[in-house]
Structure formats: C-alpha cells, structure tokens
Structure 1
Amino acid sequence: MAYYPAEVKEAARGLYCKRYSIREISRTLGIPRRTVYHWVDAEAWGDMLSHEGVEDAAQRRLVLLITRDDKTKADLQEIDRLTSALERFQRLREREQAMRGEPCETASAKPEQQDQRGTREKRERKGGDSRSGKRRGRVIKNDVSHLTPEDFKAQLHQHYFAYQRELMQAKHYRNRQILKSRQIGATWYFAQEAFEDACTTGDDQIFLSATRAQAEVFRDYIIQIAQQKFDLELKGNPITLHTAHGPATLRFLSNNSKSAQGYHGHVYIDEFFWIRGFKELHKVATGMAAHKKWRRTLFSTPSAVTHPGYGLWNGDWYNARNKVKRQQFPGFKEMQSGILCPDNTWRKIITLEDAMAGGCDLFDLNDLKLEYGPEEFENLFMCGFVDDTNAVFLLPQLQACGADPAEWADYNPKLPRPFGNKPVWCGYDPSRSRDDASFVVIAPPEKPGGMFRVLERFKWVNKSYLWQVARIREITQRYNVQFMGIDTTGPGIGVYENVRIFYSRATSIHYSVQTKTELVLKGRELVESNRIQWDAADKEVGLAFMMIRQTTTPSGAMTYAANRSESTGHADAAFAILHGVSYEPLARPRGGCRVVIG
C-alpha cells in the first residue's frame, strides 16, 4: 500500500466525518478506495459517528447533497431516498408521541396549551417537582414559550445604541433598506430583532446572505443571545423555536435562489449590495414575503454604482416601472434621519460618524483613516458608492469570482494542514502606512487554464516586519508552498530578506511600469475569464480590485495605479493576489514553462 502524508489522511478523515462516501473521498483526494477503506477499518473512523442517530446522519448527508453544485443523477436519486426516509422517521415519531399521550413537537398547539407546556418545562429544567419526587419529564427542544416582550426590554433594548433604537422604532415598516458603515452591529441587531419577533409572535424568519458561512453569522448571534441573555441552548439548523404562539422556524440560506423557494416569513438580506445575481434573488426574496404581514429588510455597506441593487436603492427601479409619474427620491442627508420614500420603503443611512454620535464607542476614527485610503474609507465607513464605470476591474466581473469556501471539499481551515499536501502559491504586499500588510494563500489550477482559489487572506495591521516574517514562516509550515511573490519596491524588502532564510524560493517583485502592467493584465485575464475565486463574503477583495485605475506616468506612458506611494497604500489585497498568481505567465506554452516577475 502506497504511503500518504498524515495531512492527506487527516483530510480524508475530515471528509468522512462530513458524511462523504468512500467513492467521493477517493475522487476528491485522488486516493484508491481500498486505501480509504483500510483507514476507516484500521482507525475505527466509524466510531466517531456513533454519537449520531440514524436520523441525524440522514439529515447531515441530505444537507451535504442539497448544497452541492452540479448534482449528478445519483445525487438526485439519493436526495429522494433520504427525503422519503426522513419523512418516515417524522411520521413514526409523531405516532409514538401520540401513543404516549405527548404533544407533537411539529404540530401547532393552542396558546393556552403552549403556556402550560412552557411553564412545566421551565420547572423541569430547574429539576422537576421536588415535592412529589417525580422524575424529570422530557424537555422540549428550543422552548422559548416563557419569554415575553418585557424580558427582551430588560435584557437587550436598554443596551442599544441610538441608531439601533431607531431601527427598532421603524420595525413596523413593511419594507426597509439600510445603507450602513461596516462593523456597527447591524447584523447583531437584526439577528436579535428577528429572534425577539419569532419568540413573541411565532412568525418564521428567513436570513439570506452571499455565502452559507455569512448566513451562519446570524445563527451564531442568535445562539449567543439566547445563551447569554436567557440561559437557553438553541439547537438545529434551521432552528425551530417552540413559542407560546406555535412553532417558529429560523432559516439561514446562502445566495442560492433554488434553496430559498417555497419558504415564507420575514426576510432579512445581509450585504445585498455585494450579492451576485441580486435581481433574481430579490425577486425570490420578495416572493417569500409577498403576504402583507411579512417584512422585507435589506441592509448593506455600499459597493459600486454598477451593482443592480443601486437602482433599487436610488429609486431607478421604481421610476422605470412608473415612467408617467417619476418621483424624486430623498437625498443623502434626508436618509441619514430615516425617511419613508415614494416606493413605500423606509430608507436609512448610518455612517461611522453617525454611529459614533449615537453612542458607539468601538472605533478610533483617526486610526481607521490611517489604515485605509480615502476611497476605501469613504466606501467602507462613510456609505459612499464606488464609481467603477472607468475602473480596470468592473464589479459584475468581480462578483462572478465570489464563491462559498464551504463547497471546496479539499480545503478545511480547521485542520493543521488545511489543504493537505497540495501545492499553493502565496503573495505578499506591504502597505505604505503603519506597517500593515496583506498576505494571501492561493490554490493554483490542477490543470492548465483551470481555476485559482484564494484559500486564506491575512491583513496585518500595525505589526513589525519581523512579526510578519514569523507569521509567514508558520504559513509555510501549514501549507506546501511552491511559490511566494513579495513586493520589494519599498518596505517589503525587510520581509523578503528574512523570508529567504527559511524559504529560499521567495521571489522578489520590484515595481516598474512593465511589472505593474504585467500584473494587472494577468489579473484581468483571470477575472474576465472567471478563472479565479475568493470568498464571496470578503468584500474587501472586490473593493481592492476596483481601486485600481489606468493612468499615465509623468513621461506619458500608460500604467496602472491605486494612489500607491510611500505614504499611502491602497488595493493591498488585490496586489497581494496579483503577486501570488504572477507565477503563471501571461503566455502559457504547452510545455508548462513558468516565467516569474523578479
């Protein structure tokens, strides 16, 4: 039997724990099936799954198959079999509960029955009826029937910032759109709002995001709120709450309209200005909330004026449908106060300065202005859209590069060797301010002309070059690094000289008009041909590429820039990626010769 590194075996074990079949593990990692069978038997991998019941295992496998792109005929047949099996499990469970005289968890109960059940289960969680000495009864999963609006007021509302209270006061509007600064707690607020609404009304809630991981942020926040504020442990995905008004389901969905169809409830769309295929998603989302009782809430940091969502925000969509009576929509200042617009949508703008004026003390404004260039700061924190009509990289093309890393079966960031022994290329770009830098790890194509994938991106802020060198050394120990491009034009030279001590293949990239042209042309080739992917939830990557502009040198030569100088460093993430992919030449001869910049 051939020898395989421990990292490959760990990757196989990780896929096995995710309920991948032996055949799928063999195909994904390129390992013979008999080898995988041997590992399963010799190391008792099956014992790791013994804690799961048959129904849990079936649900896990079903989720894996449903979220997989390009499903085969065999996958679809297995989905049908699993769905039928789960339906039988459900009917058997309901029958057993009926025979024992227990209430069925999936059926709606009358409010007074739910109140009695919530009181009983709350008592049983505290240890049962100590006076009678009876055994503790079965605890209902995700029971929130005892929570009241007063509980939420006491535990949450009093801690809101001013702008979060304003969002709460505008909850009665059926349509809300919020343009916001990054990291001001909007996702946390709407997760809390939806959780409270579900508990106190029994209404279903639906969360849509660019990727599954981003949607899971809502779920993580709700679980934390329930645990920290109400001492409740919520389980399941989706989460079904047992409220005093019947069951309420919280669904967390990625940007896949097919998985969203058929549900209904209050809809929350996170970072909608960065979602690919927004028009189609918006049509599906509004359909899920077509009934007048359901709210539609969209919130996001701005992207570019070419994004389809920009027409929804500024009223162009509405006026296109009402050409006879075109309406003037409120301006930036009016929307900062929150205002109901002609399309019956309440709009609100919250800049970082607005958030700070509203009590948010989590930021140092001067630090942020040093860490980000003027355009980036305006976009990320002051709600300014990027005008990419003349940019080298256009937003629609960049959005097509967004992917969900959860679908990369050969990559698991939780493992000591996230990518096994497969080769990676790396790129490093030093900033021109405060010693912050960008570093990326890229999976190169397995075949000529194939797909690049940005596996990890690091932003190191206010760290010395020796600290950065130590982190790069750790990365070379976790990955099989075959190439590393380092910008040595300015402050990067210190990193380069030290990295070469332990990684002799580090390649110097010294900027010139020709070098920058080659880098940008390679980037345009990959983006325009859709040959590169990165985490769709990482908005800074797309923004960094949009910062790159075509310009001329003092002598009149055409070049590319992003206001990069010794004092300012913009588009760092984009240039780090360009440094990493530069190992593939602009011309790719059949012989596989690589021409590197250095």
Structure 2
Amino acid sequence: MVAAMPIQTPPQPGAPSAMWQFDPRRHARSLYWRGWGITQIAQEFELFGVASERGSPIPRATIESWKQRDAWDDAPSIRKIEDGLEIRLLTLIAKEKKTSADLVEMDALSRQIESLARVRRYEEPGGHAGDLNPKVANRNAGPRRKPKKNHFTADQAAELKRIFLDGLYDYQLTWWNALSQRTRMILKSRQIGATYYFAFEALIDAIETGRNQIFLSASKAQAHQFRSYIVSFAKLVGVPLTGDPMLITSDLRPEEEAAAELHFLGTNFRTAQGRHGNFYFDEFFWVHSFEELNKVASGMATHKKWRKTYFSTPSSVAHPAYPYWTGERRNRRRKKEGRVSIDVSHKALAAGSTGPDRIWRHIVNIEDAEAGGCDLFDIEELRDEYAPDEFANLFLCEFVDDSLSAFKFNDMIACGVDSLVDWTDFNIEAERPYGNRSIWAGYDPQESENGDNAALVIAAPPLVEGGQFRVLERHQLRGLDFEQQAEFIKAILSRYTCTYLGIDAKGVGAGVYQLLAKPGALPGCSVAKIEYSLELKAQMVMKAQNVIRRGRLAFDVGMLDIVSAFVSIKKTLTSSGRNLTFKAGRGGDDGHADLAWAIMHILMNEPLDGKEAPKGTMEII
C-alpha cells in the first residue's frame, strides 16, 4: 500500500474550505492522486464528517465507483500535478490573514497553473506553438508591413524563369539565345506566339536587370496585349502586377535601385518620346508613318545597354520598313564602297544571322514553327482555307507586291486608327455598342461549292456630308448554310440600329437575301439586293478608291485582314480578253477579298458624289 501523505486538516464547521464544502468527489480524487488508498479516503471522510448531498456518510463503495467512472488511474501526470497546484492555491486563498510569503507562493502557483494549461492546449488536436509561447501567438497581432507592390523575391524570379524556359519552342529558344544582339529583326508567320514570347522575355529582363521595357504596337489595345500577358505570367508565381506604366522591383537587385518601368504604347509617336529602355516593336510592317515613328523609337535605345527588337508578319514591298529589312535603307546615304549586300532569303535566315549592318535577322514561317515543336496548326487545312498568295503572305513570310493591285498598300494602312483612343462614342463591349445611332452593314456570302469565307461588316456611316465611314465590326464565317448565315446576321445586327444592309444575292446569297428581306426580319432596315456585273464591279471599286484616297475610310489598325483583302483585288482581263475587270479569285491565285467586297457593299449606299443616298430598298442588277 502506498503510504498516506499528510493533508491539511479541514477547517472546523462554520469555516470550511471551498473544496470540502462543495466537491467531496473532487477532493477524494485529489487524495487518490497523492497516494491515498480508497479505504483511507473513506476513513478520512468518516473522521471529518464529510457527507453526501443527502447528509448520509460516504461509503467506500461510492468512492470506488467514482474512481472507476472517472478513470482516475488513466489521468495524465500533468493533470495530477495541475490538481495539486490548484488545491494548494485554494488553501492559500482561504486563509484570512496572508503573509508576504503566501502572496509570493500564490503568484508562483498561478503562473504554474497557467503554464500547464498552455501545455494541455498544445497537446490537444489543433494545438500549435502559439499555445506554449504568448510571444509566438502575438507576433503577428501588431500592424503588418505591407507587401511590396510589383515585387519578386529571388525564389519567385527563379521559378518564373524556369517556367518560361521550359515552355519554349525551338525557334523561341533561338530568339532567347540571340539576347546579346543589340538589334533583332524577325519576320514571322501569323499566330506562332511571338507577342507571348517577347512579353515574357521582357518581364524576365526587367526582374533580373532592372532595365526599362517599352512596347510599341499599332494601337493602344494591341500594346495592352503585352500587358495582359505579363500580368498573367506574374500570377504564375503569385505576384499581382498593377499600374501603367508598370514599376517592377526584385530581390535580385539592390533595394535603392530604381524600379524597372514597363510602358505600353500605341504608335502615336508623340506619346513615345522622352522614354528610354529596351523596346519591342510589334507588327512594324503594318504601321503607318513608320519612318517618323522609328526615329523616335530607335532614339529610346540610343545607349548601348538597350536592345531593339522588331517583329512582324510581312506586308508589302511598298511599306517603308521593307528597305530596313533588306538593308537598302542603310545603303541610300553611303558611297558605293560603303554599301552592304544582305541575303534576306528564307534559306539564309532560317537559323538567324547577323548581317554586315549588325542587325540580327530571323525568318520563322509556319513550317519552321511546326518543325520547332509548335503543334497548334493543321497546315493542310490552312492551305485549303486560304488562296495560295494569301497563305504565302500570312504563313510563309512572303511579301506582297501591290503594283497590280486596285488598292495600294500604303493608302490602306493610312486608314488605320486607334479606335480605343479615337472613337469615344463606340464601345464593342456594351449592350448597344453604338447606342441608337444608325449603322450600315455589308455582307459577302459564302459560296459553298468553293468553300471560301463569308464576311459581314458593320460600319458607322458619315455623320456629315463627306465624313468618314468607320468600320466598327467585321466577322468572317465558314461552313454555314444560307439559313445559318441569315441567323448569324440577325443576331449581330440586333445590337445596332441598322438602316441599310447590302447583300451579294447570287448563289447562296440569294437564300440569305430572301430570308432577311422578309417583312419584319430586320425592322427598319433597307435590305439591298446586289447582283454583280462588270459595270457594277467597276463602279464599286471606283467608289472605294475615291473614299480611301480622300481618307474617308477608317478601321482599327488591328484589322490587318481588311488591308490584305483590299490589296488582293487586282486589275485583270475577262476570259474573253476584251474587258478590264477587278478580281480576287475565290480559291484561286488572288485571294478571297470577302471583307473588301462587304465594305464596298456599304460604300455604294452613298452615291459617287458623296451626297446622301435616296431612302428605301435598293435593288441593283
């Protein structure tokens, strides 16, 4: 038997301690944990007259049942120690006259009980270090330091670069390996991920070196495609980027260094002045006033530490940037002995090459992209969808010669505007993009037997006599029957107040016309039936030439397909060889030009003299 431990004799009746007065069961447990046997506890209770709530003595069997039901033997040691501390603290509290030693002991006991309570919470499910140490629990309770805005840690920078390099196609890796070149000029196929790549490349450079990055595009909207990509890239490592210009810092550079600035600019050269840094010139073969803009752009990278990167799909040999590509621009002001000859053939530049003018050039056509791992295309389907000359221009990096075209390339790109900035009365995202003002529409239907595209164009007519026709939307359709084409047109026009629709009504177009010309099909809209003839084609082209040369046609600079469509229309002889006509062969050698014809269906609603057309439905045969 465990030897009995002495306990403090309970007070006489009239001044009992809290333990004895209210909870004999708890006091019995405390005695048991201090080594008393059950029989000893029962005798102790009998000696001091401890009774149950009914006033009867507490027998040994009752204490034994308490022991079994409350599992006194299974209690953890910490709980037993805690109980002893509480009993001693209650005893001291019950003293009426306390010495200074009593007060010191009470304080120590209280702190010990609190510490043990923390240990118990820590050992319970969900416990944490803050349960043991108040300083740990409260270390985040004060005001927190705001995270640095647009900031990358060293780990985030390393992870972002790893993601970038792991995802490169072979031709993009070639661009990465040419980073030491001060000037890069890249001729590329459509949709091979160049904008995506250079946005990522610029972000990595800004993080690692702190150099400014400047993005030039034909419009503000196109420049913001760079920004959209960069914001998405940063999210891959948990960094939210904001601002325009965007300021970026990182742990890879001293904190006192200035943040790298990222600027996203349209081709308004006045907004581009006064900045310096690496610059990226997107679709430079398609911008208007290239010479003037390039002077400003290249001035931003005058210092030798900055890089210049030009990349674009090809346009026309008449574009002012073409002599820069061939090297002829450099030769113009040099004597014969100082001139250089640059081979710009695909064979010479397929792997990238630095010319004698110190410009690194590279050609990546769609076949090169596929060989380099890009599996995003079905090349044979694209060859079937586009006429040979269109395919060569858009995907094989061949320039267009517009010497035989009815519309000159430079006249067409002069029609481009930054619609996001210049057209404040139009919002393509709105339920009614042009409000309740009148719009005109033109439709060039799909000829199912040839499998070409159909085109729908929405334009705002001139607000004043001699004003501009503004192309608001354009859509190209493929693989739809005449009913589906009609339903598509009705759905698009439902967002506008359309007062005129011109439709080429031959072939499949006849069915589209009949459905849309029905009363109530397009309320308030005059549906014009157009049936081509040599005379009508000549009249349409002549009207369009007049409008374009006078600067009366406007479309967003991102609508490069409109430029290509007009340039593809060529003067040619009829099959008899007796008459001159204009042709963009469907599936033949001249391209579809469906967008151009759809626009001309709109322009012809205005007479040649530019005055308002008569009201009512018009039928042209």
Give the TM-score, by structure 2 length: 0.73
Counterpart CA distance in 1 for 2:158 and 2:613 is 72
2:199 aligned residue: 191
2:12 aligned residue: none
Counterpart CA distance in 2 for 1:307 and 1:339 is 23
1:392 is displaced (CA, Å) by 1.1
2:604 aligned residue: 582
Question: Within the alignment, does 1:597 sit opposite 2:620 as a pair?
Answer: yes
1:492 is displaced (CA, Å) by 1.8
Counterpart CA distance in 2 for 1:194 and 1:566 is 42
1:133 aligned residue: 140
1:157 aligned residue: 165
2:431 aligned residue: 416
Counterpart CA distance in 1 for 2:248 and 2:319 is 36
**Unaligned 5+ runs, structure 2:** 1-135
1:292 aligned residue: 304
Counterpart CA distance in 2 for 1:130 and 1:561 is 80
Which of the residues 561, 567, 583 maps onto 1:561? 583
Which of the residues 450, 456, 467 maps onto 2:473? 456
Which secondary structure state, in structure 1, belongs to the residue aligned with residue 620 of structure 2? coil
CA RMSD of aligned residues (A): 2.0
| 1:435–1:464 contact (8 Å) kept in structure 2 | no
Question: Within the alignment, does 1:517 sit opposite 2:538 as a pair?
Answer: yes
User: Percent identity among equivalent residues?
Assistant: 42
Counterpart CA distance in 2 for 1:271 and 1:130 is 57
Counterpart CA distance in 1 for 2:581 and 2:596 is 16
1:402 is displaced (CA, Å) by 0.3
| 2:189–2:394 contact (8 Å) kept in structure 1 | yes
Aligned 1:95-244 pairs, distance under 5 A:
132-134=139-141, 135-147=143-155, 150-227=158-235, 229-244=236-251
1:583 is displaced (CA, Å) by 0.7
1:361 is displaced (CA, Å) by 0.5
**In structure 2, do the counterparts of structure 1 residues 147 and 259 end up closer, same or farther at CA, with 3 Å as the change threshold?**
farther
Which of the residues 306, 327, 330 maps onto 1:315? 327
Which secondary structure state, in structure 1, belongs to the residue aligned with residue 205 of structure 2? helix
| 2:460–2:470 contact (8 Å) kept in structure 1 | yes
**Unaligned 5+ runs, structure 1:** 1-128
Max Rg structure = 2
Counterpart CA distance in 1 for 2:160 and 2:240 is 17
1:155 is displaced (CA, Å) by 1.2
1:148 is displaced (CA, Å) by 6.2
Which of the residues 500, 509, 525 maps onto 1:483? 500
1:597 is displaced (CA, Å) by 3.4
1:279 is displaced (CA, Å) by 0.4
| 1:371–1:461 contact (8 Å) kept in structure 2 | no
2:108 aligned residue: none
1:369 is displaced (CA, Å) by 1.3
1:329 aligned residue: 342
Aligned 1:29-40 pairs, distance under 5 A:
none
Which of the residues 399, 403, 410 maps onto 1:396? 410
2:333 maps to a residue whose letter is R
Counterpart CA distance in 1 for 2:144 and 2:479 is 55
2:438 maps to a residue whose letter is P
Counterpart CA distance in 2 for 1:421 and 1:533 is 20
Which secondary structure state, in structure 1, belongs to the residue aligned with residue 406 of structure 2? coil
1:376 is displaced (CA, Å) by 1.0
Counterpart CA distance in 1 for 2:308 and 2:339 is 24
2:175 maps to a residue whose letter is L
1:435 is displaced (CA, Å) by 5.8
1:531 aligned residue: 552
Which of the residues 402, 405, 415 maps onto 2:419? 405
1:526 is displaced (CA, Å) by 0.7
| 2:366–2:396 contact (8 Å) kept in structure 1 | yes
Counterpart CA distance in 2 for 1:416 and 1:590 is 29
| Structure with more relative contact order (C-alpha pairs < 8 Å, separation 6 or more) | 1
Offset from partner CA, 1:429-481 (integer Å, 9 cap, x none): 12444363111000000111111000001112333333322221112210000
Q: How many residues align?
A: 469
Which secondary structure state, in structure 2, belongs to the residue aligned with residue 304 of structure 1? coil
1:466 aligned residue: 483
Give the TM-score, by structure 1 length: 0.75
Counterpart CA distance in 2 for 1:171 and 1:565 is 41
Which secondary structure state, in structure 1, belongs to the residue aligned with residue 458 of structure 2? strand
